[in-house]
Amino acid sequence: MRKLFFIALVAIAAISAKAQTNFSGTYVINKSKIDFGKAPEWVLPSAFEVVQNGDKLTISRTTVDQAGKETTRKLDFQPGQATDYTTSSGDKNECLVAWAGDHSSFTLSVQSTKADGSAGQNYKEVWSLADNGHTLIIDRQVAQANGMKYAIKAVYDKK
């Protein structure tokens, strides 16, 4: 009986260890919880829609540019495979997703090449959930082509 109990405990622990945070949902920016510093508010997307199926993610990122124009880009991500897209200005971006070992967060890395072939901006975002999945936190590290670097912690509320 004791052996059976121990086996059941090990099985439950193994299942729990493989449990993965589910990021599926729609999130809108909460500007009141973000320190933009000297950066304009449009440096961060205004909203995300995430659909997660196991390790695979489909992320729709809505941005509002400095002129107030809203754009949504939908991309599919699978760990270990590059996802490429070209911006409206001709910049080519290569994106990679990597899950944390415990699957509680993931890192989205983007490397950009400008339309003329020169280096563009690069950024790394670490995505995690707080408040029982009601708050999306994105720790973003950016290195712009002009050498400027900055970090910003973005906060999004689940709708």
pTM to 2 decimal places: 0.85
What confidence score (pLDDT) does residue 19 get? 67
Domain ranges of the chain: 22-158
pLDDT in tens, 7-27: 433 344 444 445 689 999 999
Sheet with 135-143, side-by-side order of all strands: 70-77, 56-64, 47-53, 25-29, 149-158, 135-143, 119-130, 105-113, 92-99, 83-86
29-57 average pLDDT score: 94
**What is the amino acid identity at position 147?**
G
What's the CATH code, domain 22-158? Answer: 2.40.128.20
Cα–Cα distances (Å) from 61 to 5, 36, 76, in that order, read: 47, 19, 11
Measured CA to CA, the distance from residue 92 to residue 110 in angstroms comes to 10
pLDDT in tens, 124-152: 999 999 999 999 999 999 999 899 999 99
Measured CA to CA, the distance from residue 130 to residue 104 in angstroms comes to 10
What confidence score (pLDDT) does residue 142 get? 94
DSSP 25-81: EEEEE-GGG---TTS-GGGS-SEEEEEEETTEEEEEEEEE-TT--EEEEEEEEBTTB
H or E element in which residue 71 lies: strand 70-77
